[in-house]
Amino acid sequence: MQPNIRSRTNSSSPHTPAIQNRYCIQNDFINPDPLDIEITKIDKETTIIRKKEKYQYSVVSLEKVIDEGIWQFEAQFQNISLKYASIGIVKASHKILANCSPHENPGLNDD
């Protein structure tokens, strides 16, 4: 069985469990700014991420190193004020800071 991730969201960036060799691997998000971002786990397949401050950059990271197999990730963006929303992949060693723009100096803090 191939690894599989399914996820849904209502605001920013999403994710939840992965099935790999009959084991359920729970994945969590790294929230660099809990005052601006609210993460609510609904069930095994649904996590809602809400952004409180509309005009501030926010990045939420999935705390999972994906190193092999085929993975599926699903996101739904709603109520985006400036029409900017994205999902990206970075090296596991990359540290994403609170209030950063995800496209500015992306390799600045890599190992």
Tens digits of residue pLDDT in 69-104: 877 777 887 777 666 777 777 777 777 776 777 666
pTM score, whole prediction: 0.55
pLDDT at res. 25:
44
Average pLDDT over residues 38-61: 79
Q: Is the pLDDT of residue 7 over 70?
A: no
**CA dist 77 → 22, 60, 84, 87, 107 (Å):** 30, 14, 10, 10, 26
Residue type, 43: D
Q: Round the average pLDDT of the chain to a whole number and report it.
A: 66
Average pLDDT over residues 26-37: 76
